[in-house]
Amino acid sequence: MILLDNIHQTYRGPKGPVHALRGVSLHIRAGEVFGVIGRSGAGKSSLVRTINLLNRPSQGTVTVAGRSLTTLNAAGLRAARRDIGMIFQHFNLLTSRTVFDNVALPLELAGLSRQQIQARVNPLLELVGLGHLADRYPAQISGGQKQRVGIARALASQPKVLLSDEATSALDPETTRSILALLQQINRELGLTIVLITHQMQVIKQVAHRLAVMEAGEIVEQGEALKVFSDPQNETTRSLLDDVVPRELPANVLERVRTLLGAPGQPPASLLRLVFAGSESDQPLLSDLVRRFGLDLNIVHGQIDEVQGHPFGTLAVLARGAQEQLTAAVSHLRGAGVQVQEVAHA
């Protein structure tokens, strides 16, 4: 659906050229929600704006729905952009127009009749839950409702692709969840390909099927969301994931573990950090360790969550037993697909 090949983007800066994108290549599949995440200045917004050529890349090609946008003339590009809707962080609504008329604006510019506009706008307002607010003005509705207007407006031209540039960053957590649920519904019911730009892993966790992580204008990691969450390969990814799955145990937990590890007269012990995902979560792995290896297990910390409906989580387990049994247990867990990190040993 979307193919970016060797995209470079260079701007003029006060101290010389600024390289916003450095050789970015991406393949986004039809009908998926694809997340692009990174810190401020990583190049996320520059990237998403090359998809509809709001920013023309300095080098590389952009192909959307089989059309090479970078080779089109002005008229061809205008036509191609009708297949690409976009929603923004700050809504960009016209304050002098009602909710209905804001959604209708792209259709008016396209020359549709009032009857055609009504036939398209009214169902969209119902889809985003604003049918009862069609006659309100932006100043009379909430931030979440304004973003729903923005989504309906982006859908008015019946696009094949929807670009979301930090669309939930200005919203509170509860409203963010409702907007993301709406985007999931749109993806599911309309089969729309959605590209979601964000700096929040919580957003990625809720809606993205696959994701790319950006740093300094480059993609440093990409893959299926569940795989990236459970087995991040890049330090930038691991840092971003700290908001969802902290790598470090809380100080009070570590203090308690130090006391347990230092208890006199006890058999060897290891503090193990286990990361599991998907079907691994349904297996009785800990009770299996007790039966197979005769270990004493103490769960000292844990977190269970979901990524796209798939279980995912971490456990910190204090395991006691003979050293050879501890070693065999770790090998058994890894063979079952669980990631195991030995945090401490005594």
H helix runs in the chain, sequence order: 44-51, 74-81, 99-109, 114-127, 143-155, 173-190, 201-207, 225-230, 235-241, 251-261, 285-293, 323-335
Domains in the chain: boundaries: 2-241, 251-345
Q: Which residues contact 331 (CB under 8 A, 6 or more apart)?
A: none
Q: From first to last of its 346 residues, what are the pLDDT tens digits of the chain? A: 899 999 999 988 888 888 999 999 999 999 999 999 999 889 999 999 999 998 899 999 999 988 899 998 888 888 888 899 999 888 889 999 999 999 999 999 889 999 999 999 999 999 999 999 999 999 999 999 999 999 999 999 999 999 998 888 878 889 899 999 999 999 999 999 999 999 988 889 889 999 999 999 999 999 999 889 888 899 999 899 887 877 777 888 888 888 777 777 777 788 888 888 766 566 777 888 888 888 889 888 888 888 877 788 888 898 988 888 888 999 988 888 888 888 765 4
Residue type, 143: G
Q: Is 21 exposed, middle or buried (0-12, 13-18, 19+ CB in 10 A)?
A: buried
CATH 3.30.70.260 fits 251-345, yes or no: yes
The CATH homologous superfamily to which domain 2-241 belongs is: P-loop containing nucleotide triphosphate hydrolases (3.40.50.300)
Task: With H, G, I as helix, E, B as strand and everything else as coil, classify residue 274.
Answer: strand
Structure token pair of residue 298: 């103490």
Look at residue 18 in the predicted model and tell me its pLDDT.
85
pTM: 0.86
As a whole number of angstroms, the distance between CA 284 and CA 282 comes to 7
Beta strand 33-37 pairing with 210-215? parallel
Q: Which residues contact 177 (CB under 8 A, 6 or more apart)?
A: 206
As a whole number of angstroms, the distance between CA 81 and CA 54 comes to 10
Task: With H, G, I as helix, E, B as strand and everything else as coil, classify residue 228.
Answer: helix
